[in-house]
Amino acid sequence: MVKEGAVYELKDLKEKAPKIFGIPTGTKLDEMFYTVEISDDKAIKKPLGGIPYLSVINITGIPDTGKSLLGEQFALTQASRGYGVLYVTVESPANFLYTALKERAKALNLDFSKIEENMVVIDASQEEELRENVAALLDTMAYAIKLKNTKNVVIDSVTGLYEHMEVKARIIVRKIFNFLKKHYQTALLISQKRSSQTGESAEAAGGLAVAHIVDGTIVMDKKIITTQYEERLYKIPVGSVLRTIRIDGCRLSPHDSRMWIFEITDIGTIDIKMPLTDFIKRR
């Protein structure tokens, strides 16, 4: 059967094509996505100012690499700027998320009362049907998006929606991706790795299902310094934790694909410092 409605002349898509600009995350990632302008036959990079508008970005990494912190920092930054945010918590009960967000807002010196007004939370951690039935989850998300006129979504974690049925990961992620596009949401999907998967790879539970479908992937990793060679290479003591972040790819915007060093500060915020190459060359 021919689907004539799926066929477009390229010129007819002009009015529907989204604008390319940045949605701030509150981190140095905002400078790592960029646009390119041509001036005097020279390509000039200009920071986008955030993740691309209407992008769906996968955040993946092994445990304790700061994935949830990055999602929270993005959500808080957007809500504090007056934009509606939908936070779908699949792992932590909503009352615990509230406490974490409040403490994080304090650390970022943000007005939490304004954030409360602009953020809506779906607690899928306490509702089995929302975790097991993607249609029920999407209907609930549609209601929440309309309720707060949200522009941004964080799902922590998308892995929790297929953790015992990874064979369905691609189907579930595709439905969520299409839903977010239909509702014009900029989103972070946090995904978890299995113990057998390396920290530097974009692969997560469900294989590369998430990475292949979404617009881009950010990989967060950590390395514990255990040898004298590593101590000399990285110039930090044995026993230290070296944290890295990398934009693995993004189809909507040029980006810095280098591995960067970051820290989780004492007050629980993400602080991206410098490229790994510069970190090794310092001193």
DSSP 188: E
55, 252 Cβ separation under 8 angstroms: yes
Rounded-to-integer distance, Cα 242 and Cα 225, Å: 7
* pLDDT per position as a tens digit, 8-21: 999 999 888 888 89
Q: Model confidence over 230-282: pLDDT tens digits?
A: 999 999 999 999 999 999 999 999 999 999 999 999 989 999 999 999 999 98
Identify the bridge partners of residue 195 per DSSP, sorted by sequence position. Answer: none
φ and ψ at 51, to 5 degrees?
-70, 150
Give the type of residue at 221. D
Domain coordinates of the chain in residue numbers? 20-37+51-219
CATH number of 20-37+51-219: 3.40.50.300
Please give the pLDDT value at position 197.
Answer: 61
244: three-class secondary structure by DSSP: strand
Q: Which two tokens stand for residue 53?
A: 């508008």
The stretch 75-102 carries a mean pLDDT of 96
pTM of the full structure: 0.93
Using CA atoms, how far residue 268 sits from 48, 69, 96, 100, 107, in Å, is 25, 7, 15, 10, 7
